[in-house]
């Protein structure tokens, strides 16, 4: 479990859908978690790509070319663009968000197929050569009351943490689940070739890494799901929500996209 600390809203940034028109690529749900498992009423948000976006990932092959706009080369501002030799169409990857509650947002990777063959002003920043499997990195984050002296008395007395769903504490007051990374694995060598991921520092940023140890550290408190198993995994996620006493309070989550 990773403590993310008391923090202000991270709600800033740029999304690919701000520029390119496309269907919404998410499955979002608002839940109210009852005290069925000793949890107090908990606000919960699920924000995940739909099946169209997952299918786009499934169509990729090595090598994968990753680009950034030249005007942003010295920054981590989204979007990133990528394509593979097996699919010349470019995909824009950016970060979208929704509020779980005040000052607690859930962030999700958003994939948009571009309506143009080659965006202008791009520079290749990375290339993933040897990989044969894609995995989606799913984060579960929650907010809970701070323990005595855990945060300065002048701060809001709440703490946000990331961990596995089974580690959700009974004191949690809000939960957010989203896709925060994409791993490209070489299963022959049993090594990750690279990863594109979102991090909270700076807010709404996208990063690229080819460091296997760094990738393992990042996913230690997350779930990884291959595209072929994504629909079944989402169904299991909704069952988990029900198992902890979740009741739908708003829009239904789309399970199969």
3-state secondary structure the chain: CEEEECCCCCCCCCCHHHCCCCCCCCEEEEEEECHHHCCCCEEEEEEECCHHHHHHHHCCCCCEEEEEEHHHCCCCCCCEEEEECCEEEEEEEEEEEEEEECCEEEEEEEEEECCCCCCCCEEEEEEECCCCEEEEEEEEEEEEECCCCCCCCCCCCEEEEEECHHHCCCCCCEEEEEEEEEEEEECCCCEEEEEEEEECCCCCEEEEECCHHHHHHHHCCCEEECHHHHHHHHHHHHHHHHHCCEEECCCCCCCCC
The answer to whether the CB of 78 falls within 8 A of the CB of 205 is yes
| Cα-trace Rg, the chain | 18
CA 168 to CA 176: how far, in whole Å? 11
Phi and psi of 5, rounded to 5°? Answer: 80, 170
Tens of pLDDT along the chain (257 residues) come to 766 654 444 444 434 444 433 333 334 555 444 333 444 467 788 999 999 999 999 989 999 999 988 877 777 767 899 988 766 678 999 999 899 888 889 899 999 888 666 667 888 999 999 999 999 999 999 999 999 888 898 888 899 999 999 999 988 888 999 999 999 999 999 999 999 999 877 778 899 999 999 999 999 999 999 999 999 999 999 888 777 655 333 333 333 33
pTM across the whole model: 0.82
């Amino acid at each position: 479990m990773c403590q993310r600390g008391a923090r202000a809203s991270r709600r800033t940034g740029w999304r690919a859908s701000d520029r390119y028109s496309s269907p919404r690529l998410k499955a979002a749900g608002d839940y109210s978690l009852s005290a069925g498992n000793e949890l107090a009423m908990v606000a919960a948000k699920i924000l995940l790509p739909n099946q169209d976006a997952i299918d786009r990932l499934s169509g990729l092959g090595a090598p994968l070319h990753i680009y950034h706009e030249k005007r942003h080369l010295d920054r981590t501002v989204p979007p990133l663009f990528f394509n593979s030799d097996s699919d010349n169409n470019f995909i824009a990857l950016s970060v979208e968000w929704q509020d779980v509650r005040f000052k607690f947002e859930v962030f999700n990777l958003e994939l948009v197929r571009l309506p143009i063959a080659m965006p202008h002003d791009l520079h290749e920043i990375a290339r993933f050569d040897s990989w044969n499997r894609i995995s989606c990195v799913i984060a579960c984050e929650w907010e809970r009351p701070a323990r005595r002296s855990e945060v300065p008395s002048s701060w809001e007395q709440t703490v946000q943490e990331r961990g596995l769903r089974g580690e959700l504490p009974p004191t949690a007051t809000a939960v957010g689940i989203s896709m925060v990374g994409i791993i490209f694995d070489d299963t022959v060598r049993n090594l990750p070739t690279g990863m594109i991921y979102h991090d909270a520092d700076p807010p709404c940023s996208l990063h690229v890494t080819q460091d296997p140890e760094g990738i393992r550290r990042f996913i230690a408190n997350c779930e990884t799901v291959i595209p072929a198993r994504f629909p079944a995994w989402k169904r299991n996620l909704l069952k988990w929500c029900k198992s902890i006493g979740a009741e739908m309070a708003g829009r239904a989550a789309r399970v199969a996209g």
